[in-house]
Structures are given as C-alpha cells and as structure tokens.
A and B are shown apart, each in its own frame.
Chain A
Amino acid sequence: MTDYSKIDFSELTAVSDDEVVTHSYVRDIPLASGKTLALITLDNGRDHTRPSTLGPVTLLELNDRLEELKVRAAAGEIDAVAITGKPYFLAAGADLSKVSEIPSREAALKLGQLGHYVLGKLGDLGVPSFCFINGLALGGGVEIALNCDYRTIDAAAPAVGLPEVFLGIIPGWGGAYLLPNLIGIENALKVIVENPMKNNRMLKAKDAAELGIADVVLAPVNFLEDSIKWADGVLGGKIAVKRPNQPGKLERLAKWDIAIGIAKKAIEGKIGTTAKSPFAALELLKAAKSGTKAEGFAREDEMLADLIAGDQFHASIYAFNLVQKRAKRPAGAPDKSLARKVNKVGIIGAGLMASQFALLFVRRLQVPVVITDLDQARVDKGLAYIRDEIGKLQEKGRVSSDEANRLRALVSGTTDKSDFADCDWVIEAVFEDLAVKQQVFAEVEPFLAETAIIATNTSSLSVEQIGANLAHPERLVGFHFFNPVAIMPLIEIVKTPQTDDATLATAFATAAKLKKNAVLTADAPGFVVNRLLAKVMGEAARAVDEGTPVPVVEQALAPIGLPMGPFELIDLVGWAVAAHVQDTMVREFPERFYSSENLHALSKLGGPVVEKDKHGKVTDLTKEAKKAITVGKSPVDAATILRRVEDELAGEIKLMLDEGVVAAAEDIDLCLILGAGWPFQAGGATPYLDRVGASERAFGDTFHHPKIVGLSA
C-alpha cells in the first residue's frame, strides 16, 4: 500500500511557483448543542472572476490545517470539521495550466498521490467531516466533498461535475472510487463518463442531491447557517442521513459489471475506442466494486499518471484552451467599438434555413426581424414555422408567455423589399447559386441605408463575387452557419478584400450576441470546415471508387476519433450538398480535390443511400446505392486510407496557413472542433497530424513547436 506521508512532493511545488494559492482558513464555530465545529474556508483572495483552484501549494497548506485539526480532534477540542469555499465557489478543481506543465510521469504520479494524501485526510480526522458545497464545484472540488463524510449543497450552486474525462484524464483524487460507492454504479457512470461526453454537461444542485452526491439541498439565503445547524443535527443524532442510492451487495453482484458493459458498448458505438479517458474511467469504476479505499486510490494514481503523461491529455488541454479562451477573443477581429448597432434584421428567404435564422436572431437580439420571399405563400409558411417554434419554446417553459408574445410580435414577413429600408443587418439564406445570391442582393440594396450590413450564409461560393454588383461591397461579409443552426456553435466570418472594419466588427458582435463562436477566415473556397471535410470525403470517395468496400472506408478513420465516419457525415449533410461542395472545391482546386462520379450518382438516387445500425453508424450502402455506382478493382486497406487522409489534411492545412485563410493553426482546430465536432483528444486536427508524423510527411515540419505531445515522447 502506498504510504503517502513518505513521498517528497517538492518536485510539484517547484513547478508551481506562480500558483494562485487557495488558502485554507480555519475558524471554530460554536454549535447550538454546545459542540465545536472547525470550519475550513477555501479562499484564493481573488474576486468572483477567479474561482479557487487546487494546486500543489494549496494542497500542502490544506494538509497542514488538516494535520492540526486531527491533533485537536484527538485532544477533544473539536467535535467535527467542515469545509466550504469563498462566495459562489467551493473549488474549480486542479489548476489545469499547471497540470499540463508537469515534467514527467513520475511527477504526474505524485500529483495524484498528493491529492489522495491530502483529501483522503478528510475521511480520517477522528471526527465526522462535512463539506458545505456553497457554489461551483468541479473536479477536485467535488472530490473534496466526496472525501468528507457528509455533504450539504446550496440550491443555487450553478454547476457540479467531474469533467476529467472530457479533458482526457480521470477523477484521480478519490472520485473514481468514492463516487460509485456513494451513489451507485449507474449514477456514477452518468457523472464520470456520460456527462463529460455530452459536451461536458454539469449538474445543478438539485440533480446532485437526487443522485446522492449531496445529502441535503439547502436554500441559499441561509446556506451556511443552515448547513452548520444540519451538521449539528447529524452530530447529535437528531438527523438521520439516508442514502438510498448507496450500492448494496445486490447491486455489486448483479448490476455493477453489467452497467459497465453497457456503458462500454455505448461509448464504442458513439465515439469508437480511440479516446482513452472514457475507457480508463470505466476500468476504474469497474474495479471500484470491491477492495479497499486505499487500493482504489492507488489505482487512480497510476491511471492518472498514465493519462497525464499521454498525448491525448495534452491535446485536450490545448483544445480546451482554444474553446475557453481563443474562441472568446477571435484572432483578427477588429476593435469592438467599431461595431454598429443592429436594431432590425432582414432575412432574404423564408425557407427552412431562413426561418431558423429568423428564430435565432429574434431570440438572441430581441429586435424586429422581417423575412421576405418571392410570394406571400412562402412568406406565410415561414412565419407559421417561426411562430410554431416560439410556441414550442413556450410549451417547454424556455420562454414565458410575455416573452413569447414579444418574440412573435417582433417577427414579420413581407414581399415588398422596401420593408427592409430600416434594417441594420440583412442576411440571405437562398439557394446556393452565385447568380441567385447576386440577384437578391441587387434587389434589396437600393432600399437599404448605406451603413446597413449585408451578410451571406454561403458555404462554398466566393463572397467577393456575390458582392460584385453591390454599390457598397465594403459592407458585405460572409456569415457561415453550420447545421443545425440552433445547436452548432461555430460561425465562419468571411472577410473579402473590400469588407471594412465596421462591417467586420458588427459581424463579430452579432455572432457573440447569437451566442456563437466566430472565427475569421479569408474569402477562400470552402473557408475552413467545408474545405477540410471535402478532403476527407474526397478520399473516402476515392477509396470506394477504387473498389474498397464502404464498411472498410467508414472504419478507416477511427484512429483519429472523429464523431462520425465519412459516409455518415455525408448522409447527415445531404448527398446533394456534399456533391455540390465537392464540385466547388474541385472547380477551384482541380489538382488537389477528388471528383467522384459515384458521389453524384448517389446524390441523385432519391431513396436511402446507406444502411445504419442502432447507433446511427453507417454499416454499408443500400442495395439500390450499390447498383447505382461503378467501382474499380484495386481496393485499398484501411491503413492506406487513413494515411492518405492524414497526409492530405496536413498538406491542405499547411497551404491554408500559407495562403492566410486563417491567422493560425489554432483557428483551424477551433473550426474543426466547433464546426465539425472533431475531438479534444486530437486537439482538433493539427496536434494529431503532428504526433502521427503526417505533418513531417506532408511538408517536412510540424504545425506546433514543440509538438503537442505527452511526456513519454
């Protein structure tokens, strides 16, 4: 068994000299019963914009306080220990910026051991321990709570969660052992594995209590007073703590392994087997069924060290920082103060996409939105859809009836383009055809103020050409959404050589108000996401054309860990759209993009093109589809396809960077993560391409210097 007290942790504090230390303050609280509770407050001395985090120096200070309290408990001076946080935060977990700086596996091992050493004391003080979860608790913050004997939670705590698996690691300060033994295996799977994989979903206080993470939810108004009173009640035996979700013998015998097996199959079905952290978590959760706490902690130590030392964790932290930081300050965006106010929005088109735009703009901007189309019937249909959707939001309780009335009153339709006269922002959502887009803008522009912004949602046409006939092309900007519009978080903002800064600034401000992340791209074919997806689809089509069976092609890219295989993706975006995008890219770059007759044949099929399993994964083409295509006789294996895709992607991304399509490789990765769901563990694309050698093969260098790789490399 690991004797944590014999370990020298100075290696960790050495790399943590600039840690924002969260201090542990102790005050004695006299309880109504006459007992004394020692209350530890975790407080980093910063305001609410800097949550308390748990670095090595923080942990060692907490350790000192806990040692002192253990002595006082033995001396009978205190009857209980409780731990809570500064206002709004318990703790946001380990300081990730520090974790990624850890120099070796040996040091990574110590990080887990230090957490176990210190937090483990909360369960071994000689008196009962309580955690008063007064606010946000993530990762190590939740593990502080789990290591205590009892937990209360503030009903207003905004988020409770164990996001480790999302970041490529596992809850390694007791969480993977303690949680399933507290709330049962199925609930623990939900918190440790499922939620992190659902875009890092967090729990509200009520959910945390229902799952059994907290013993009681207390109102915010007197949270600390009531927590202290509750603790007094528990100490005096007046309050009996019930934990219905705590696993019993039956669950361990009958349910545990089955639940793990089901979860494993679900993950494999959803994202394949490439990502390591979910499976590492499953292994720990499975083992938590039996054995001692010390054994569980030791398993976590080793697993955490392996993962911290690995490539995927480092790529995940890179990706996490992109999404958390770079996405909030888009590279190349002009000064915010240049943005114009958008007080009315005009949408050209009343089809499904246009209606979805109208709904999004009216909800987020809360300004009048007017839609237009060729005839009143189309306009009315669009309006009916929008009003229906607002009604659904109201039914779900997402908007109040007053709010729904407000939104409905803000949306109007017209066939008279002069009704666009006072719009500050006009966006088109018409057929993806240059002449059509040019024409609709030509019709509208004469009615618009000179400062009104004109935006196009084109996915593959040249924005500059769309604006070729405009009187004021400087106010035209590309504003490329991803489907489904309401859900996908990315907008590619496309700058033409004429686009002025006020227009660009307004586009970024509008994207932010729509709660989307925007990335600035040049007016290059396919911008970022479609250009690279066209590469992937082209290689998939090439392999099929050569005679490779679809199942082989569909599985070939699994090692990257993409959310879906190439044909599943094509089936999602639509075969006609995919063929159109492919055509555009081939037209622009005939030497680099693959044109497939078979793809066109499939897009004209009409009926279903692919067969799918219960997870929605493509298993093969339909019989009809197979008949519709002509294939060669030189099939390739999966490794060849993977290597081709990797090399093509690396080469294309390098070209894009050289052409200045985006400011940096980071923006490519951000687009792929937010616009196409590419995985954190690959860092989007470029860290992966560097680490598998594709960058070296394609252009003799890497995207990142040093490469974003694990400690063992």
Chain B
Amino acid sequence: MFVDGVRTPFGRAGEKGMYWGTRADDLVVKAITGLLERNPSLPKDRVDDVAIAATTQQGDQGLTLGRTAAILAGLPMSVPGFAIDRMCAGAMTAVTTTGAGIGFGQYDVVIAGGVEHMGRHPMGLDADPNPRFLTEGLVAGDALNMGNTAERLHDRFPELTKERSDRFGMRSQQKVQAAYEAGHLQPDLVPVAIRSEQGWGLATEDEGRRPGTTMEGLAQLKTPFRPHGRVSAGNASPLTDGATAAILANAKTAKELGLSVKMRMVSFGFAGVEPEVMGIGPIPSTERALKNAGLTIEDIGLFELNEAFAVQVLSFLDHFGIDDEDPRVNPWGGAIAIGHPLAASGVRLMIQLARQFELHPEVRYGLTAMCVGLGQGGSVIWENPHHKHYGKGR
C-alpha cells in the first residue's frame, strides 16, 4: 500500500538554483521529516527499513543514504536503511524493492524515496565506464549522453517531429501551471529553508517552471545535442535538485496504525532496451507490468509518465495508440516543467497519481512509468482504493 508521499519543491540545478547552498542529504531528510510529521499515527520505531535512492552516490549523496538519512531525520537507531541506484528509476526501484519485501511478508512499514542534487553532483561525475563498452561495441559512445539518445529516438521514429515534442513541452508547462493554480501540487510539498548569499529563504514551489512558454519561443531555442537537432531545453526536463519520500505498508499494518491508503501496488516491471534509445524503455517495462497484473493498456485510466524528454513520452504514447493530448496522460504536467532530479522522480509520479486517484474514483488502475539511462524502463501499476470495485477482484 502506498500510504503517503511528499517531496521537496524541485530546484534548478547549479549555482543560480535555490538549493546551491543546501546539502543533498538534508533535502531527503526534510522530505522524510515532512512525511513523518503528517503521518503522526506512524510510530517511528515501526519503520522497518529506509530505502533512499541516488544516482551519484558520493559526498553528501553517499555513505549509505537510507541509513544516514534515517538517523538525521530522527528515526530511532533501531531503524535500518540502505541506498539504492537505478539511475532515473532509483526512487521507483526503492518502492518496488521494499514493496516486494512487504508483499513477501518481511516488512510491515517502510520509507522509500530518492534524492538527486544535480547541481552538486552533475550527471556522470567521476564515472569511469569500462572501456569494453566501446572496444567491443557494446554501447555506442554517445549513449551515455541522454540528449543524444533522445535525438536518436527522433531518428528512429520520423513521425515524432520537433513540432510534436515542442507542443508536448509547452502543454506540460501549461498543465503544471494550471495544477498550481488549482492547488493540486502544493499540498505535497515540504518547505525547505535555503541559505543563500542574500540570507535565509524558504523554498515553497518548484523553481524551474516556465508558464509563459510559447511555440514561437520554443522554436528559437538551441538544440545543444546536434546542430539543427530536435531536442532542446524546451522539450526536455531540466537539470534539477530535489528529494522525495513515501511510506509503504501492508494493509493490515496500515489499518492497525490508522494510516491512509492512497494506492495499492498491483504489479511492476523493469526491462532493458538498447542504451542508444533508452527512451523507449518504458514500453517493454509497461508490457511486463501489465502482463504481471493480468491487465491490458485499456485498463489504465491515468498515466504518470516521466517526461525525461517529450519525444520519449511520445514514443510510448504512439506505441500504445494514445493521443499526444490524451487527458489521462500527465494531467498536471510533468518533468519538463517540474524538473527531474533523477533518482527522486519515481516517487513524484506516485505522489501525483495518488492525488488524482482521489479526484477520479471512476479510475481503477493507473500507471507510473519512466525511462532509465543505459537503456532501461520501469513501470508500476497501481489500483485506486476509491474505486467502487476496489479489492473485489476484476
């Protein structure tokens, strides 16, 4: 059971970003404390494990984050923790791994989440890829550059035009802004005190949003990965700092402790694809998750797809025959506007799906899915507890 999830506001990575003076581990600690604070009926010593993901596990993102964050967040020393890494699907994997542990009866309650401070830990920093990747032709040289893999998707699927990507990017900005105005996103944000040269401030909203985005403006943007390419800052997720955390529990314990149940995990799937086109990863992973659940794509009423790149989401939609502007897909926008702090994003998708389940009791199943660097996809299918047939079989 997905009991609850919160996140920090997401900040723009880099010196000008609001979290430049804030440590990565502090970000995830704020997420965990915010989560515990709004679930006061969960005794802290009942947490059986803390799984925190980060892609670049070094410095203030190293040292077995789940354990260190648990201590820093004031959980009792008896609560264990560990760090987890599946690049962009880190937090998602933290959820599926510990969720599976719950399903197997080994945990009652866990905390799963992720953090990525891409300002302090740029992608691939200090990475030392094995030369065999290249010498044996295992992976193309540019496959480690995510922008290039997105350009490659445009190559593979010529019908995915720059114009479609830009429009999707613009819609994402508009939908996020509309969601902000409706107050859908703010309730799950934990404010974070931020230190800057101008003194202390308080982060209360996602920093990277550009609600004024227009198609004309997008057309002017540079395509940094190729001259006259198609991938730009306007149709890709920005480099982002942020953290997420969620409480998972089995049904019995949730009931015993009076915890809310916002979603039920039905199935999950991970799959690998060629690293050069990592963006299509969610297609096979979703097929696997559907198969595990005994469902078809028609059963999914809401989609929270991570917008690493617009083209990569569009490839998914085309594959499953879903319209670019289908209202079931990312109704409150996505990572292009909100940001994508790699290993933190999986739980953000879940937080937003959980909110939408509340508003859409007619929807029984939802999907969270994302592509992963080095050619992977991850998908989790969730059931809506507000649906009339919830818990009654198909």
Instruction: Determine if B29 is an interface residue (Cβ-Cβ < 8 Å).
Output: yes
Contact indicator B202/A225 (Cβ below 8 Å): yes
Residue B199 interfacial (CB < 8 Å): yes
Contact A221 B199, CB 8 Å, known A30-B204, A228-B191: no
What's the interface size class on B, roughly? 20 to 34
Would you give the shortest CB distance from A133 to chain B, in whole angstroms? Answer: 13
Instruction: Tell me the nearest residue of chain A to B191, going by C-beta.
Output: A225
Residues from chain B with a CB closer than 8 A to the CB of A26 are 199
For the complex, what is the distance from the CA of A25 to the CA of B72, rounded to whole Å?
Answer: 28
Q: Quick check: B30 and A39 within 8 Å, CB to CB?
A: no
Given contacts A221-B29, A221-B74, contact A27 B191 (CB under 8 A): no
Given A221-B29, A224-B193, A228-B191, answer yes or no on A84-B200 (Cβ-Cβ < 8 Å).
Answer: yes
Which of A39, A222, A229 touches B200 (beta carbons < 8 Å)?
Answer: A39
Interface string of A206-235 (1 = CB under 8 A from B): 000000000000010111110011000000
Q: Contact check: which of B33, B34, B199 meets A41 at CB < 8 Å? A: B199
Give chain A nearest CB distance to B245 CB in angstroms. 14
What CA separation (Å) do A87 and B30 show in the bound complex?
A: 17
Q: How far does the Cβ of A466 sit from chain B's closest Cβ, in whole Å?
A: 52
Q: Known pairs A224-B193, A225-B202, A228-B193; list 5 more (Cβ under 8 Å).
A: A40-B199, A222-B30, A222-B33, A224-B202, A225-B193
List, in ascending order, chain A residues with CB within 8 A of B195's CB: 86-87
Give residues 185-216 of B contacting A (CB, 8 Å).
Answer: 190-193, 195-202, 204
Q: Does B73 lie at the interface of the complex (its beta carbon under 8 Å from any beta carbon of A)?
A: yes
Q: Which residues of chain A come closer than 8 Å to B192, judged between CB atoms?
A: 225
Question: Which of chain A's residues has its CB closest to B37's CB?
Answer: A222
Residue A43 at the chain B interface, CB threshold 8 Å: yes
Per-residue interface assignment for chain A, residues 84 to 103, with 1 indicating a CB less than 8 Å from any chain B CB and 0 otherwise? 10110000000000000000
The 15 listed contacts between A and B (C-beta, < 8 Å) are: A25-B197, A25-B198, A25-B200, A26-B199, A27-B200, A32-B191, A43-B199, A219-B74, A221-B30, A221-B72, A224-B200, A224-B202, A225-B192, A225-B193, A228-B202
**A294 on the B face (CB < 8 A):** no
* CA–CA, A27 and B191, complex, Å: 15
A29 within 8 A of B: yes
The CA-CA distance from A225 to B191 in the complex, in Å, is 7
Please name all residues of chain B whose beta carbon is closer than 8 Å to the beta carbon of A43 when the two chains form the complex. 199
Q: How far is the CA of A25 from the CA of B30 in the complex (A)?
A: 24
The answer for the CA separation of A27 and B202 in the assembled complex, in Å, is 9
Let me know if A27 and B74 touch, CB within 8 A: no
Nearest chain A residue, comparing its CB with the CB of B197: A25
Query: In whole Å, how far is B229's beta carbon from the nearest beta carbon of chain A?
Result: 39
Contact partners of A228 in chain B: CB under 8 A: 191, 193, 202
Mark each residue of chain A from 1 to 32: 1 if its CB lies under 8 Å from any CB of chain B, else 0.
Answer: 00000000000000000000000011101101
**How far is B190's CA from A39's CA once the two chains are assembled, in angstroms?**
19
Chain B, 345-384, contact with A by CB distance < 8 Å: what is the 0/1 string?
0000000000000000000000000000000000000000
Q: Which residues 46-74 of B sit at the A interface, judged by CB distance below 8 A?
A: 72-74
Residues of chain B lying within 8 A (CB to CB) of residue A229: 191
* Interface majority SS (helix, strand, loop, mixed), chain B: mixed
Bound-complex Cα distance A169 to B195 (A): 35
Look across to chain A and name the residue whose beta carbon is closest to the beta carbon of B29: A221
In the bound assembly, the distance between CA atoms of A43 and B74 in angstroms comes to 28
* Contact (Cβ within 8 A) B193 A221: no
Q: Which residues of A contact B201 (CB under 8 A)?
A: 27, 29, 39
Residues of chain A contacted by B196 (CB below 8 angstroms): 27
Q: How far is the CB of A117 from chain B (nearest CB, A)?
A: 22
Report A-chain residues with C-beta under 8 Å of the C-beta of B33: 221-222
Q: Shortest distance in angstroms between B104's beta carbon and chain A's nearest beta carbon?
A: 32
A contact residues, total (Cβ < 8 Å):
21
Bound Cα distance from A225 to B204, whole angstroms: 10
B98: min CB distance to chain A, Å: 23
Top 3 closest A-B pairs, CB basis?
A41-B199, A25-B199, A224-B193
Distance of A229 Cα from B33 Cα, bound (Å): 14
Find out whether the CB atom of A27 lies under 8 angstroms from the CB atom of B30.
no
Query: Contact residues of B with A, CB < 8 Å?
Result: 29-30, 33-34, 72-74, 190-193, 195-202, 204
**Which chain A residue has the least Cβ–Cβ distance from B198?**
A25
Q: Is the CB of A30 within 8 A of B72?
A: no
State the CA gap A221–B190 with chains docked (Å): 13
Give Cα A84–Cα B73 distance, bound, in whole angstroms.
23
Chain A residue with Cβ nearest B34: A222
Contacts of A32 in B (CB 8 A): 191
Nearest chain B CB to A82 CB, angstrom units: 9
CA of A87 to CA of B29, assembled, Å = 17
State the CA gap A40–B200 with chains docked (Å): 8
Bound: A329/B204 CA distance, A: 48
CA–CA, A219 and B191, complex, Å? 16
The docked-state distance in angstroms from the alpha carbon of A634 to that of B193 is 76
A229 and B30 CA atoms in complex are apart in Å by: 14
Contacts of A27 in B (CB 8 A): 196, 198-201
Bound together, the chains give a CA A30 to CA B189 distance in angstroms of 14
Give the docked Cα–Cα distance between A700 and B197 (Å). Answer: 56
State the CA gap A618–B200 with chains docked (Å): 57
Cα–Cα, bound, A559→B29 (Å): 58
| B193 contacts across to A, CB distance below 8 A | 222-225, 228
Residues A39 and B199 in contact, CB atoms below 8 Å apart = yes
Name which residue of chain A comes closest to B72, CB basis: A221
B-contacting residues, A324-365, CB 8 Å: none
How near does chain A come to B227, taking the closest CB pair, in angstroms?
Answer: 42
Q: Can you name the residue of chain B whose Cβ is closest to the Cβ of A42? A: B199
CA distance A221 to B204 in the complex (A): 17
Residues of A within 8 A of B34 (CB): 222
Chain A contacts for B202, CB-based, 8 A: 29-30, 39, 224-225, 228
A29-49 near B? 1/0 per residue, CB < 8 Å: 110100000011101000000
Tell me, in angstroms, the Cα distance from A246 to B198 when the chains sit together.
36
- Complex Cα distance, B202 from A32, in Å, reads 11
Q: Which residue of B lies closest to A45 (CB)?
A: B197
Rounded to whole angstroms, the CA-CA distance of A225 and B202 in the bound complex is 8
**Chain A residues within an 8 Å CB radius of B190:** 225
Chain B residues closer than 8 Å to A40, beta-carbon distance: 199
Q: Which residue of A lies closest to B192 (CB)?
A: A225
CB distance from A619 to the nearest CB of B (A): 56
* Closest residue on chain B to residue A224 by CB atoms: B193
For A86, give the chain B residue with the smallest CB separation: B195
Complex: chain B residue closest to A25, CB-CB: B199
Can you name the residue of chain B whose Cβ is closest to the Cβ of A40? B199
Contacts of B197 in A (CB 8 A): 25
List of B residues within 8 angstroms of A87 by Cβ:
195
Contact A225 B199 (CB under 8 A): no
Which residues of chain A are within 8 angstroms of B72 by Cβ–Cβ distance? 221
Whether A225 contacts B30 in the complex (CB less than 8 A), given A87-B195, A219-B74, comes out as yes
Tell me the residues in window 507-549 of chain A with beta carbons closer than 8 Å to chain B beta carbons: none
User: Nearest CB to that of A29 among chain B residues?
Assistant: B202
Query: If A221-B29, A222-B30, A225-B192 touch, does A41 touch B74 (CB 8 Å cutoff)?
Result: no
Chain A residues with CB below 8 A from B204, complex form: 30
- What's the least CB distance linking B41 to chain A, in Å? 19
Report Cα–Cα, A512/B200, bound state, in Å. 38
Cα distance, A222 to B192, chains bound together (Å): 8
Residues of chain A with a CB closer than 8 A to B198's CB? 25, 27, 41
Are the CB atoms of B191 and A221 closer together than 8 Å?
Answer: no
| A229 to B190 Cα, complex, angstroms | 11
Q: Which residues of B contact A41 (CB under 8 A)?
A: 198-200
Nearest-neighbor residue (CB-CB) of A85 within chain B? B200
A84 and B199 alpha carbons, distance in the complex (Å): 9
Closest chain A CB from B333 CB (angstroms): 21
Closest residue of B by beta carbon distance from A222: B33
Q: Shortest beta-carbon distance, A210 to chain B, in Å?
A: 22
Give the residue among A27, A32, A87, A219 with the most B Cβ atoms within 10 A.
Answer: A27
Min Cβ gap B44→A in Å is 13
Q: Give the Cβ gap from A491 to chain B, nearest Cβ, in Å.
A: 39
Task: Report the minimum CB–CB distance from A87 to chain B (whole Å).
Answer: 7
A29 to B199, CA, bound (A): 11
A87-B195, A228-B191 known; A221+B73 contact, CB < 8 A: yes
Nearest B residue to A219 via CB reads B74
